Amino acid sequence: MSDSFFKAIADPSRRKILLLLQKHTKLNAGEIAEYFEFSKAALSDHLKILRSAGLITASKSGQFIYYTLNTSVFQDIISWITDLIKKDEV
């Protein structure tokens, strides 16, 4: 796991964004902002960090950018955690 992954999940607001995307599948920044009280600039920074860590993807549709979970990264994380658990059991 890269440092950017740990930085991304260290913040409670970013974890909440991930949970929102898990629940709603696809949201644009305005829809995500409805769940927070911080500025649009702060939300943009959070989304940038999550994208840099590879945890979310962005795709443009019309005038909006929609964010979704990068499920392949989460599969890698689950494998990594499973490997850690197996090593601890030995």
Span 33-90, pLDDT tens digits: 999 999 999 999 999 999 999 999 999 999 999 999 998 776 777 676 777 777 666 5
What share of residues in the chain are helix, strand, coil (percent, to 5)? 65, 15, 20
| Positions of E strands within the chain | 27-28, 56-61, 64-69
Q: Across residues 4-19, what is the average pLDDT?
A: 90
- Entry field: residues in the chain: 90
pLDDT of residue 2: 66
Which domains are present in the chain? Answer: 3-89 (1.10.10.10)
Segment 23-43, tens digit of pLDDT: 998 999 999 999 999 999 999
